[in-house]
Amino acid sequence: MLTDEPNPSARPLKRDSEQKILSVTLRLNNNFLSDLTGLMDTLSALYAEPTRLAWLDLSFNQFQHIQPVLTQLKELRLLYLHGNRICKLSEVDKLAALPFLHTITLHGNPVVSERDY
């Protein structure tokens, strides 16, 4: 997977001298993912500054829980989680550890029908 290039019809990626990606966005949507094991290792291998990730799209996967690794992304501002399987607001509460997070999408998750959503 680390050798696959993104969609060739998209703009070319900017890279540093070590060929690591210079970006603060990552789209992992529509992949049937249910956990984020190895996310930080993957980010470190691909991104010049992995902890500066500001926008993460995890929409339309199979997540039931907010993974602890997400709280390591202290610069995260936008998190797309719509179309997953998150059932409890207590899962969403875990994201309070992210000081700059201002946008979360949750529509299409069972949690939206929970009382006090």
What is the chain's pLDDT, residue by residue, as a tens digit (117 residues)? 556 666 666 788 899 999 999 999 999 999 999 999 999 999 999 999 999 999 999 999 999 999 999 999 999 999 999 999 999 999 999 999 999 999 999 999 999 998 888
Q: Please state, in angstroms and rounded to a whole number, the distance separating the CA atoms of residues 111 and 114.
A: 5
Q: What is the pLDDT of residue 4?
A: 64
